[in-house]
Amino acid sequence: MRRTAAWLLPLAMTMLVATGCGGAGTSQNDAGGGASTQGGDTITLRFSWWGDQTRATLTQQVIDLYEKLHPNVKIQPEFTGYSGYQQKLTTEAAGNNLPDIMQMNYGPMITQFTTQGLLENLEPYTDAHTIDVTKVDKNLVNEGYVNGHLYGIPIAENALAVLYNPDLLHKAGLSDPKPDWTWDDFIHMAETVHQKLGIYGARTLVFNDSVTLPEYYIRAHGQHLFTPDQKGYAYEDQTLADFWKISLKLIQDGAAPTIDKIQQIQGLEQEPIAQQKAAFDLHWSNQLTVLSNNGKVPLKLAPLPGPGQDQGMYLKASQFLSISKTSKHKEQAADFINFFINNLDAAKILKTERGLPVSSDIQEQLKPDLSPIDQETVDYISYVTKHSSPIDPDSPPKYAQISQVMKDVEQKVLFGKESPEAGAKEFRSKTESLLK
pLDDT tens-digit map of 198-243: 999 999 998 877 899 999 999 999 999 999 988 999 999 999 999 9
- pTM for the model stands at 0.80
Rounded CA-CA distance 375/352 in Å is 9
pLDDT value, residue 2: 35
pLDDT value, residue 7: 29
Tell me the β-bridge partners of 45.
75
- The crossing angle, in degrees rounded to 10, of helices 420-431 and 399-414 is 160
Rounded CA-CA distance 197/104 in Å is 41
pLDDT tens-digit map of 133-187: 999 988 899 999 988 999 999 999 999 999 999 999 999 999 999 999 999 999 9
Rounded mean pLDDT, 320-338: 97
pLDDT tens-digit map of 10-47: 333 333 333 222 222 333 334 554 555 545 689 999 99
- Residue pair 300/372 in contact (Cβ under 8 Å)? The answer is no
What whole-number percentage of the chain has pLDDT above 70?
91
pLDDT at 4 > cutoff 70: no
What's the gap between Cα 45 and its chain centre? Answer: 24
- Residue pair 296/269 in contact (Cβ under 8 Å)? The answer is no
* Length in residues, the chain: 436
pLDDT tens-digit map of 51-61: 888 899 999 99
Mean pLDDT of the chain: 88
Rounded CA-CA distance 48/56 in Å is 10
pLDDT value, residue 17: 31
- Residue pair 330/120 in contact (Cβ under 8 Å)? The answer is yes
Residue 393 gets the label, from left (phi > 0), alpha (psi -120 to 50) or beta, of beta
